[in-house]
Amino acid sequence: MSTQEVKVKVVVRARPLLPKEKLAGEQSCLKIDSPNRIVVGRKESYNFDRVFLPRATQQEVYDYTVKPLLIKCLEGYNVTVFSYGPTGSGKTYTIGGYSSTQGEDERGLIPRVAEDIFIKINEIKGRKISIKISYLEIYKEELRDLLDSSMVKDILIQEDDKGSTIIKNNKEVSCKSAAEMVNLLEEGERNRQIGATSLNEMSSRSHAIYIATLTQTWSNQILNDGDESRMEHTLESKFHFVDLAGSEGPRKMELSAEKMKESIFINSGLSRLSKVITALTDKNSSHVPYRDSKITRILKDSLGGKAQTVMICCINSSSKNMDESLKALNYAARAAKIKNKPVINKDARTVKIEEMESEIKLLKEKLFKQ
Ligand code: ADP
Ligand code: MG
């Protein structure tokens, strides 16, 4: 079992100026002079695992961030990709909110991984792999099921005996194809917008979490006291895609009392996330306040835990948004210091059998020594 520390991979994606921004005469305030470095304004420079140019394609972002994680997920690790940044910076575009309705090239990370998962399922012989999808939203510290608007039961966040987070009472849908995975993404996206007065309204104030659970089953032959029998194995791992709420602070002038309350709630989620990041990167801190908000409870394993994680910090190139971009990059630079200790998930039976096997080996060694 590997308990080596692995850094949270942090990448920056600067989106291009949109046609209407160009028309309005907006200018870019960014310079990306190497694949790892970004310069904002005249002097602020930052280094990250990777900085994508505004013209970087969805495929390039996928190949660097998610493709290697899919291999890890199939090996049995839980993996997480999350997008962070101000509203309008390209978080939803990157994660995958746009799919079949747009051109092939515009598909985000989820539609791309969906396709690769099913290619792998057909390639891998001797194992049965099944996929279940859940899609949730945290809005004003309340969990909503984006695949089940009836919401008969409260969704619960609990911990298993190993301290890992489990979500209960949410709808999980089995998928037999990439197209089904994408349909669920679109269904959730439609539910995310119910009640929103504009497209960005809800998504800028809520966190969306799309989870693909991969269950692999296989069996092998074992010899037991000269008798042959088959032993069944199960390996379950999760792929999380988290589209976080907009990182911008409230513009006080624009806020009604209700909006102000909402913004305190969102920012409580993101500021709690910030506190978790601080605690994880401060050697003197002994307590990490995961329990203080729903998003930090859900991301517990992804930050400082057993999962493998990539953070995609999205920023807008325009000089009009320079302050927000700088804030987001500072946040990302702190997150880049977090180290995880990835561990493969194993079912209790496999763990027990491995323990027994090593015990037998030890006993045999002792026996032969006598
Ligand atoms: P967010 O989810 O961060 O609020 P969106 O993903 O909705 O932002 O993106 C805002 C707008 O910018 C959308 O119209 C989207 O199509 C466009 N956009 C974002 N990233 C890119 C990109 N890399 N290339 C082209 N257009 C982009
Ligand atoms: Mg969005």
Going by alpha carbons, the residue nearest to atom 23 of ligand 1 is: 15
Whether ligand 1 lies within 6 angstroms of the CB of 89 is answered as: yes
Residue 227 pLDDT class (50, 70, 90 cuts): confident
Asked if the interface predicted TM-score (ipTM) of this complex is over 0.90, the answer is yes
pLDDT value at 56 more than 90: yes
Question: Contact, 326 vs 44, CB < 8 A?
Answer: yes
Give Cβ neighbours of residue 206 (< 8 Å, ≥ 6 apart). 137, 138, 139, 192, 245, 266
For the chain, helix, strand, coil in percent to 5 are: 40, 30, 35
Question: Contact, 37 vs 111, CB < 8 A?
Answer: no
Reduced to 3 states (helix: H, G, I; strand: E, B; else coil), residue 318 is strand
Whether ligand 1 lies within 6 angstroms of the CB of 91 is answered as: yes
In this predicted model, what pLDDT tens digit does every residue of 270-295 receive, in sequence order? 888 888 888 888 888 889 898 889 99
In this predicted model, what pLDDT tens digit does every residue of 22-53 receive, in sequence order? 999 999 989 898 999 999 988 789 999 999 99
Going by alpha carbons, the residue nearest to atom 17 of ligand 1 is: 90
Residue 64 CB coordination number (10 Å): 18
Residue 264 pLDDT class (50, 70, 90 cuts): low
The two tokens of residue 311 are 């953070």
Crossing angle of helices 322-335 and 257-281, in 10° steps, is 40
184-198, 217-231, 302-316: range with highest mean pLDDT: 302-316
d(CA 189, CA 146): 8
Residue 300 pLDDT class (50, 70, 90 cuts): confident
- Give this prediction's pTM: 0.90
Measuring CA to CA, which residue among 209, 180, 204, 182 is closest to residue 193? 204
Whether ligand 1 lies within 6 angstroms of the CB of 93 is answered as: yes
Counting ligands in written order, which one lies closest to the CA of residue 85? 1
Residues, the chain, total?
A: 370
In this predicted model, what pLDDT tens digit does every residue of 97-136 receive, in sequence order? 665 566 788 899 999 999 999 999 999 988 999 999 999 9
Which ligand 1 atom is at minimum distance from the Cα of 199? 7
Higher pLDDT, 200 or 163: 163
Give Cβ neighbours of residue 360 (< 8 Å, ≥ 6 apart). none
Share of the chain above pLDDT 70, in %: 88
The one-letter code for the residue type at 249 is G
User: What is each CA distance from 285 to 278, 332, 369, in whole angstroms?
Assistant: 9, 20, 48
Neighbours of ion ligand 2 (CB under 5 A): 91-92, 203
For residue 249, say whether it is annotated as part of any ligand binding site.
no
Burial of 313 (0-12, 13-18, 19+ CB in 10 A): buried
For residue 204, say whether it is annotated as part of any ligand binding site.
no
Residue 362 CB coordination number (10 Å): 10
Whether ligand 1 lies within 6 angstroms of the CB of 255 is answered as: no
